[in-house]
A and B are shown apart, each in its own frame.
Chain A
Amino acid sequence: MNDFILSGLIFSPLLAALVLLLIPNRLQQPIRVVALSGTVVQLILAILLYFRFDGAAFANGHTGYQFVEKLNWIGFSLGSLGRLQIDYFVGVDGISIGLVLLTGIIGVIGVISSWTITKTVKGYFLLYLLLMTSVMGCFLALDFFLFYLFFEFMLLPMYFLIGIWGGPKREYAAIKFFIYTLVGSLFILVVMIGLYTSVIDPVATAAYLELLPNGVASQEAVLQVQQMLQQNVISGSELVRTFNIPAMMEPANYIPGSLLHVLSGSVLWDLPLRFIAFLLLFAGFAIKVPSVPVHTWLPDAHVEAPTPISVLLAAILLKVGGYGLIRIVYPIFPDAGAYFSILVGGLGVLSIIYGALCALAMNDLKKLIAYSSVSHMGFVLLGLASLTVEGVNGAVYMMFSHGIISAMLFLVVGVIYDRSHNRMILNFRGLASRMPAYTSFVVIAFFASLGLPGFSGFISELMVLLGGFSAPDVTGMLPRWMTVVAVVGLLLSAAYYLWALQRMFFGKYWIFPELREKANIADLTTREYLMLVPLAILTLLFGIFPHLLLDKMGVAVTGFTELVLQNGQEQLNMVLSTIIR
């Protein structure tokens, strides 16, 4: 079972980066080839993993991870606080499998798109490969510390990739990106500290207390330790504190008296501390998603970043935010998740509408698409907040589908920018007559994004809306008007896409006179076909056969919603009861 395929996925780009270090700067072509092979290996492993992954395997949120690798990494004594254990703990489940596959695909597309980069090629691909390692690590880590390490490590390569290879205002955009996401990750850091000081690893503690007869972890031993813990009979110095995310999901693993225990009764500004922790974590990940009102870094970063980096940013980096919410925030704080569902759903709807309205007002095609990302990621929040099986399935599906489609959208913008060094919508008219193939891909991308049936975007939006509409009856989470408003977002997105299409591509051919001399309006090259065709096929494939992904993730998502709903309601009652007392 265990052949270290996940480690292979995480570290294959890093390995390629190490090989790059040995190649002299001037050999640009070998550098590109090595970078490509690093990501291709990652893609092959991701595809293998996808086929070997058993979608029907039991999963309930705590367990059900497959291909798990767990190694002791850091362990030291905290004195009277017991021991601290950090593991190299990775695994994959239905929620992450799609994102792993997506990361593999986009990684290769990104390298192909980067083929035209000529400025310090070696540095560029080094950073690119580092970025791929850390994104993949984020999706596979099951230890909070490991996750945080990869999460933070995405910032730096991205900062330099935007700041060195970006457009005219790249420095401003890079710093804004860095500061925003760093502040977000600091929020996460605080909660992470609070969590690991509150949570024990029952298996490791049992081993420490010598409760495991043959050194084999058993369910009884775990239960025994959890009971002993809740009865307060284990002394502080014998506890093994952990960053283990599945352990954090079980209330029985929280140390009585610690601030994040459900019965701690600790409050801050009249809110239970668990709620504050939820809000901090949510804020941290919402910046990454990004949700209105903390989205303002995104348009700047997108506009200034070079095309391949925009693709990576939109297609996989944003997904880390949504993934963090599903993997970490909701399962660990289901009580607060249930309590704040209106807030999360409301921000989702706000992002949908506000993002769409901004997109409507943009003259820069790339900005339009950046805002459409904000709008579409709002659906992830909405689906998640509904806590229905359909809604969460839709949210996860949306992340995958938006990954494919937004990659296509940014590539399409890159094509016109490469040819004319301009991407203002009003500078072009009637491009369809000169670039028919290009126009057809634009149409596919736009229609896929606005949710035309047959494309993957449709499936995800449909499921989110179904979930949203049934939520008041099934889970009692969201008021129905929110979903109604979200539907308006769909109309708006049709409006801005079709309007842009009409203005730029249809009618008589014309481009802005000053651009005419420099511009070389030719149709797609082979390299561009190589990137756009697979993406177009994928969005159709997953639009027509959604079960390809739904079968893999269904069990995990159902397990997730059950866990969050059941535990959420129970824990919410407990938290609120201690407050009132």
Chain B
Amino acid sequence: MNEQATLLSDKINAILSGAGSLLPELLLAVFFLLLIILDLFKSKSIKQLLPWLALTALFSTLVIQILGGYTSGNEAFLNLLLSDGLARFGGILFSATGIFTILLSLQHKPLEKLTEGKGEYYGLILILVLGLNLMAKSVNLLMVFLSIETVSIASYILTLILKDNRRSIEAGIKYILYGSLSAGVMVYGMSFCYGFTGTLNYTSEGFALALSQANGLLVTVAAILVFAGFFFKISAVPFHFWVPEVYRGAPMAVVALFSTGPKMAGILVILRFVAPFSDSLAFSDVQLFLGIAALATLVIGNLTALWQKTPRRLMAFSSVSHAGFLLAALLAFGTDYTSGILFYLTVLLFMNFGIFLFLQISEDELGVEELEHFSGLGKVYPYLGVIALLYLLSLTGLPPLAGFMGKLLIFTNIWEAYTLYNSPMLLALLGVGVLLTGVALFYYIKIPYYLFFKRNLREENLVISLSNKLLLAFFVLPLLVLFFKPDLLLNWIEQVLAQ
């Protein structure tokens, strides 16, 4: 009895001492509750306040994580969470994602006019960011599952937030179905891992040791099953079927959020998850599987994007192809690929939010539903057109924009890994990755093609609000700066990782 009491108090102490490292997450949770409570008031002025409260929360977590220093070392929260440099950098990205999502939402009239559930909407963004933070920090399979589910549930509701939009409902239902399927498969795989190793803590030595002794085939199967859940989050093939539906139906801000936040967190989780397999017999199989998945995602994403007629679906498959690219980046084992990947994720964040803001403006103000509707708009709104062009070039990976630098770093790592291991898979990834950049140009350039080459069919000349213009410039600026001075970010990433 007494023993149990000391055990309990030990655990409570451990939790309390680790609580400091959860400062950003706690802050988000508190603000979430605050938002929900305030949402109960009918007063209009309070409703107006809600997005700004959410912004405050995210902004403070952003600042806290940029400053760092709130953690006492790498303390693991009862071996569930690890607050290292990777998680901290992830947290910075996620907070920024949340802020950008709210900024985009504020520019979207239907969301602004939302009378019911405004608090829920902004609260759920906070919860989603909280879940992303936990994903990046998790070092325990169960914790991984819980945080992924937190993100998923928040995502389902965010998809459905505009209830009167029929597409929104269809998208939400499909999303939930695919999501629960892949979650189930993932848990099944995790149970295998637990069976092999007797521990859920996948960064522990015991986990890697037990895996190295287990049957290679079964370990491969278990790993593949677990990857199902991760792939769903990062929208990799074959778990990408929800992507076009959701991108078609959800509000643009939410789409932008999905194209960045969960993808970034998923990549960080995979980054942690593959490490213990490096000693196991199954390693080459896992590598092969990831390689095939990366190739398939790259090819399917890019080639399907070629046939799309609406900007939303085009961006959906572009997002799939970026997932493939990130997976390929993960395969450069043996090199210091983490900072390259983090650089790419940062760039992805800015260019995706930029392009989705552009699409939101085109859709809301100019009524663009299909690619053809862009015809001639670049001549009427040159500012809009030129900035859109910059985003698209960055997405393609052309200089002088940071997308090029990101690709360059990742290709460098793959080449270096090929030098080390001479694996044909890496060569294939390099070749396919580079060639598909040419394909990517072909579909991205469609938008500027309509913007500048085609004749404008409509007469009206609308004014694009100053706030939209400023936001557009805000997202493009880092892309230019990070091309000419990538070392600014890379050196900082290095510092954060070395924490």
Contact = CB atoms under 8 A, between A and B. Distances in A.
Interface of A: 73-81, 120, 123, 148-149, 152-153, 155-156, 159-160, 163-164, 170-171, 174-175, 178-179, 182-183, 186, 189-190, 193-194, 196-197, 257-259, 266, 268
A182 B438 contact: yes
B399 A152 contact: yes
Contacts of A73: 484
Nearest to A194: B415
Contacts of B438: 179, 182-183, 186
Given A76-B491, A77-B490, A179-B441, A193 B415 contact: yes
Interface stretch (B30-38, B66-74, B301-309, B445-453): B445-453
Contacts of A156: 393, 398
Contacts of A193: 408, 411-412, 415
B434 A189 contact: yes
A258 B412 contact: no
B400 interface: yes
Given A74-B485, A76-B490, A77-B490, A257 B452 contact: no
Contact of A153 (B400, B408, B416, B453): B400
Contact of A74 (B335, B400, B486, B494): B486
A120 B379 contact: yes
B452 A186 contact: no
A462 to B, nearest CB: 40
B241 interface: no
B419 A257 contact: yes
Nearest to B489: A76
Contacts of B296: none
Q: DSSP class of B's interface residues: helix, strand, loop or mixed? A: helix
Given A75-B487, A189-B411, A268-B427, A152 B336 contact: no
A164 B398 contact: no
Given A175-B449, A182-B441, A152 B398 contact: yes
Interface residues of B, number: 38
Contacts of B416: 81, 197
B268 to A, nearest CB: 18
Contact of B445 (A75, A123, A175): A175
Interface string B477-493: 00000001111001100
A76 B393 CA distance: 24
Contact of A163 (B399, B442, B452, B487): B452
Contact of A81 (B335, B430, B434): B335
Q: Which 6 residue pairs across A and B have the least CB separation, nearest first?
A: A79-B336, A76-B487, A76-B490, A183-B438, A149-B399, A186-B434
Nearest to A25: B382
A226 to B, nearest CB: 20
Nearest to A150: B399
Interface of B: 335-336, 339, 379, 382, 393, 398-400, 404, 408, 411-412, 415-416, 418-419, 422, 427, 430-431, 434-435, 437-438, 441-442, 445, 449, 452-453, 484-487, 490-491, 494
B494 A148 contact: no
Contacts of A183: 435, 438
Contacts of A77: 490-491, 494
B335 A79 contact: yes
Nearest to B337: A79
Contacts of A257: 419
B430 A190 contact: yes
9 contacts: A74-B486, A76-B486, A76-B491, A79-B335, A79-B339, A81-B336, A171-B449, A175-B445, A259-B419
A178 B445 contact: yes
A257 B434 CA distance: 24
B328 to A, nearest CB: 14
Among B412, B422, B485, residue most surrounded by chain A Cβ atoms (within 10 Å): B412
A21 to B, nearest CB: 11
Contacts of B441: 178-179, 182
Contacts, number: 90
A395 B253 CA distance: 56
Contacts of B336: 78-81
B441 to A, nearest CB: 5
A225 B491 CA distance: 26
Contacts of B494: 76-77
Given A77-B494, A81-B336, A179-B442, A160 B419 contact: no
A190 B436 CA distance: 13
Given A76-B486, A179-B438, 14 more contacts: A73-B484, A74-B486, A74-B487, A77-B491, A152-B399, A155-B398, A163-B449, A171-B449, A178-B441, A182-B438, A186-B438, A193-B411, A194-B415, A197-B415
Contacts of B430: 190
B335 A80 contact: yes
A304 B202 CA distance: 61
Contacts of A81: 335-336, 416
Contacts of B490: 76-77
Given A79-B335, A153-B400, A197-B416, A186 B487 contact: no
A258 B419 contact: yes
A410 B336 CA distance: 52
Contacts of A159: 445
Contacts of B415: 193-194, 197, 259
Contact of B453 (A164, A186, A190): A164
A155 B398 CA distance: 10
Contacts of A194: 415
A266 B438 CA distance: 27
A189 B393 CA distance: 16
B335 A148 contact: no
Contacts of A75: 487
A271 to B, nearest CB: 13
Contacts of A259: 415, 418-419
B449 A160 contact: no
A90 to B, nearest CB: 16
Contacts of A160: 452
Among A73, A155, A183, A258, residue most surrounded by chain B Cβ atoms (within 10 Å): A183
A479 B302 CA distance: 45
A319 B416 CA distance: 33
Contacts of B486: 74, 76
Contacts of A163: 449, 452-453
Contacts of A79: 335-336, 339
A290 to B, nearest CB: 17
A99 B485 CA distance: 30
B426 to A, nearest CB: 11
A80 to B, nearest CB: 5
A110 to B, nearest CB: 21
A344 B64 CA distance: 60
Contacts of A76: 486-487, 490-491, 494
Contacts of B434: 186, 189-190
Nearest to A77: B494
Nearest to A192: B408
A257 B419 CA distance: 8
B288 to A, nearest CB: 20
A190 B487 contact: no
B481 to A, nearest CB: 12
A182 B484 CA distance: 21
A163 B400 CA distance: 21
A170 B454 CA distance: 11
Nearest to A151: B399
Nearest to A120: B379
A120 to B, nearest CB: 7
A171 B375 CA distance: 13
A445 B20 CA distance: 80
A75 B336 CA distance: 16
B495 to A, nearest CB: 11
A186 B485 contact: no
A80 B399 CA distance: 26
A74 to B, nearest CB: 5
Nearest to A195: B415
Contacts of B431: 190
A183 B491 CA distance: 32
